[in-house]
Amino acid sequence: MLGLERRSDVPAWIYVAVPVIAVLLALAVGAVFLVFTGHDPLTVYRVMIQASFASTFGFADTLVSATPLILTGLAALVSFRVKLWNIGAEGQLYIGAVCASGIALLIGESLPGWANILMMLAAGAFGGMLFILIPAIARAWLRTNEIITTLLLNSVALLFINWLIFGSRSFWRDPAAGQFPQGLRIPDEAYFPRWGATRVHLGLVIALLAVVAIWFVLNRTRFGFRMKILGDSESAARYAGVPVRLMVVAVLLLSGALAGLAGAADVGGFSRRLDPNSLAIGMGYAGIIVAALSRLNPGSVILVAIMLGGVRNAGTALQSLPERVPMEIAVMLEGAILLFALGSEVLVRYRIHWPWSKGPALDASPEEAEAT
């Protein structure tokens, strides 16, 4: 077995090595499955890189894919920081989208566009908060496991948006749509402005502002300081007079609000209607990857989200290959990157004693240590 020894200081190269190793190993695993299914991994990867990073428009689409990931990444980040596990960003994003599209349709053309957009963002954040409220209160007062409650609510939210668009004649559904039900378009004024001819939209600016805001809250406010104490030790926080229950609720609501904003950004900037097919692509779950890879550091969230956005964006480009590589290779790569990143994370915390290296490993039992 491997022996692990806790590091006292972390050499700088490791912070670069971890993500690089993770991505390379994930690509290697992906290559195995690609060869296995009769595809040429080099061609696939070249097409993916070209599609996402090598042209202006390709990179713009990467940024579009990265926009919701930044927000859901922050959502996971704030809750993980205090060792609360909001796994429900997926569902909070859907409900955020429901509220944002609802308010945009309700306002219609009665308000100027900028006011409508502001209302959409507020509604999106509100929807996300609403959807995490019960798990948050149950966690704070009853210590009900928030992992399971938030996880299960994702399925509820998915069924709900499917019902709104496919299962009923709701306010959100386009009454003119015939055989293929779809959401009603929000008014033109409420479209998020786009950057030039690209599809990059206001949502990216909001996501970046959210990064700055979260950084500020975490590092420069009393709230952030209390989060830090709570994250280190709940009993210490209690002795220090931190209102633990209120903090738990507040942090989870903040997390839900960020996920809900991602839903609003999809409605306003991308699909322009409540569209279950555009929403239910795992942006909330991907946020957990983003948070984990960024090592809960708001600034790194941007870079990680762009990298993952590139992988996702490239998945679509693969469809254009003559041999039609299934785009799910992108989802698989995402999961593999996360697995390997978790694995290589060990380098940050521990020095490794390989089984074949000299000297007894630290956690070997006495007999084993004698034997070596």
Report the interface residues with another protein, using CB under 8 A. Answer: 1-2, 4-6, 33, 37, 85, 87, 134-135, 138, 142-145, 147-149, 151-156, 159-160, 162-163, 167-168, 282, 285-286, 288-289, 292, 326, 328-336, 338-339, 342-343, 345-346, 349-350, 362-363
Minimum separation from the CB atom of position 18 to another protein (A): 12
Minimum separation from the CB atom of position 268 to another protein (A): 25
**Cβ neighbours for 204, distance < 8 A, ≥ 6 positions apart:** 63, 64, 66, 67, 70
Minimum separation from the CB atom of position 160 to another protein (A): 7
343: enclosing H helix or E strand: helix 329-344
Token code pair at residue 78: 């704030």
Minimum separation from the CB atom of position 38 to another protein (A): 10
Give the residue with the Cβ less far from another protein, 122 or 281: 281
Give the residue with the Cβ less far from another protein, 111 or 331: 331
Asked if residues 127 and 98 have their Cβ atoms less than 8 Å apart, the reply is: yes
End-to-end CA distance of the chain: 13
Give the residue with the Cβ less far from another protein, 142 or 371: 142
3-class DSSP state of 353: strand
Minimum separation from the CB atom of position 127 to another protein (A): 17
301: enclosing H helix or E strand: helix 298-318
Token code pair at residue 268: 């306003």
Asked if residues 102 and 301 have their Cβ atoms less than 8 Å apart, the reply is: no
Give the residue with the Cβ less far from another protein, 221 or 233: 233
Rounded CA separation 100/91 (Å): 14
Minimum separation from the CB atom of position 228 to another protein (A): 18
Residue by residue, DSSP assigns 269-295 as: IIISS--HHHHTTTHHHHHHHHHHHTT
Give the residue with the Cβ less far from another protein, 46 or 349: 349
Beta bridge partners of 5: 351
Beta bridge partners of 3: 353
Asked if residues 86 and 153 have their Cβ atoms less than 8 Å apart, the reply is: no
Q: How many helices (H) and strands (E) does the chain have?
A: 16, 2
Give the residue with the Cβ less far from another protein, 109 or 363: 363
Minimum separation from the CB atom of position 128 to another protein (A): 18
Residue by residue, DSSP assigns 34-82 as: HHHTT--HHHHHHHHHHHHHSSHHHHHHHHHHHHHHHHHHHHHHHHHHT
Q: Which parts of 143-243 fold into alpha helices (H)?
A: 146-162, 202-220, 222-232, 234-239
Minimum separation from the CB atom of position 201 to another protein (A): 26
Secondary structure letter of residue 352 according to DSSP: E
Minimum separation from the CB atom of position 205 to another protein (A): 28
Token code pair at residue 90: 């997926």
Give the residue with the Cβ less far from another protein, 279 or 336: 336
Give the residue with the Cβ less far from another protein, 56 or 168: 168
